[in-house]
Amino acid sequence: MRLLSRLRRFLGRLRRRVLGVFTELPPVEPVDDGLPRQVDKPGGHGSGIARHFGAAAFIDSEADPIDVPLVILAFFNRSGSNLLAAALRDSGAYRGFRELLNHQNVITAAEKYDLKNFEAYIRHISAQARAAGVPFGIKASPEQIGMLHHFGVLRLFPRVDVLHIERDDVLGQAISYCIADDTKRWSSLHKAPPEAEPAYDGERIRAVMREAALAGLRVRLVCETLGLNRIPVSYEELAADTPATVRRISAALDVPLQGHTLKPPALRKQAGATNALFRQRFLNELYGSGENHPLHGSPGQARQLADTTGEREPGST
């Protein structure tokens, strides 16, 4: 009996020590995964707008509605958003699709046109669409979509949809971004000479690929949280047949295209030998030991390939 009593006391102490280990573990700290923790907030650009307008940044709940649909173009750099925006504008069935939500642009226009509140700014930039009776488009980041909701802008419009353009070739997108960032030539329409020669940086390419993937997740989370209809568009689809893509998007938005001519895009391919060489080097490094990848050959072969082929790159932001 004495032995059994000692055994019970020992097991009791052991149980308390084991439970103590589990109950005294430090709390798990949240990881900075790059995804939004809260959607309905002003964000960086919204904070700048709020500082300028003060309480007038918020839309009155009884404000007169804007009687045309709002189409938000969500994108990440080099995804083809410029090509898509130009194709939609050129169809004649839409207006807008510019980057007009950066706080610097808002403040500059507000001071120039004496706009006293954010609602006046939204009515100012949508004036052409309202006059034509067609949907108003605007380019926005996921953070800016949350900002529009936070200030009450989305409820001004009878319908809000999100066109979400992404690129299947994320490696090509990241390489294109790095080259454009070095040269400062973000579009084939930019005629100025490059500011600098592009420099290869594999880690930088990897970082841009990660950010592009996260950007897509952010758009999906924001749209689901706010109950916004998201219409996915791929760059590859758009580049292969721009008019067909515009027709598919317009059908999804219930926008008639009768009487409108779908023109070929004015933007042209930017990708060339440098893109091919950077891709070759990245894949060779990923393959291991800097050897030539058996499916991609040598840099010399990549240079030859770039002279005869190349992906169609619209130079989009």
For the chain, the domains span 43-308
Task: Please report the pLDDT score of residue 4 as a whole number.
Answer: 65
Task: Please report the pLDDT score of residue 248 as a whole number.
Answer: 97
Distance CA 252, CA 263 (A): 20
Specify the amino acid at residue 114.
D
Long-range contacts of 179-187 (CB under 8 A, 24+ apart): 179/274, 179/275, 179/278, 180/77, 180/78, 180/270, 180/315, 185/270, 185/315, 186/315, 186/316, 186/317, 187/82, 187/267, 187/270, 187/314, 187/315, 187/316, 187/317
Task: Please report the pLDDT score of residue 258 as a whole number.
Answer: 85
Task: Please report the pLDDT score of residue 315 as a whole number.
Answer: 40
Query: What is the domain class of 43-308 according to CATH?
Result: alpha beta
Instruction: Provide the 3-class DSSP secondary structure of residue 11.
Output: helix
Task: Please report the pLDDT score of residue 179 as a whole number.
Answer: 93
Instruction: Provide the 3-class DSSP secondary structure of residue 149.
Output: helix
Contact by Cβ (8 Å): 299, 281: yes
- How many Cα neighbours within 13 Å face the side chain of 19? 6
Within 8 A by CB and 6+ apart from 293, the residues are 280, 283, 284, 286, 287
- The sheet that has 229-234: what strands, in order across it? 95-98, 136-140, 70-74, 160-166, 229-234
Distance CA 94, CA 159 (A): 14
Single pTM value for the model: 0.80
pLDDT tens sequence for the chain (317 residues): 566 666 677 666 666 555 554 445 555 555 566 677 777 677 788 999 999 999 999 999 999 999 999 999 999 999 999 999 999 999 999 999 999 999 999 999 999 999 999 999 999 999 999 999 999 999 999 999 999 999 999 999 999 999 999 999 999 999 999 999 998 876 655 566 666 789 999 999 999 999 999 999 999 999 999 999 999 999 999 999 999 999 999 999 999 998 777 877 665 555 678 999 999 999 999 887 555 656 555 555 555 544 444 443 334 44
Task: Please report the pLDDT score of residue 18 as a whole number.
Answer: 52
Task: Please report the pLDDT score of residue 91 as a whole number.
Answer: 94
Specify the amino acid at residue 285.
E
Distance CA 96, CA 316 (A): 16
Task: Please report the pLDDT score of residue 15 as a whole number.
Answer: 61
At 252, list the tokens: 């999804």
Q: How far is CA 247 from CA 83, 93, 121, 123, 191, in A?
A: 15, 11, 30, 28, 31
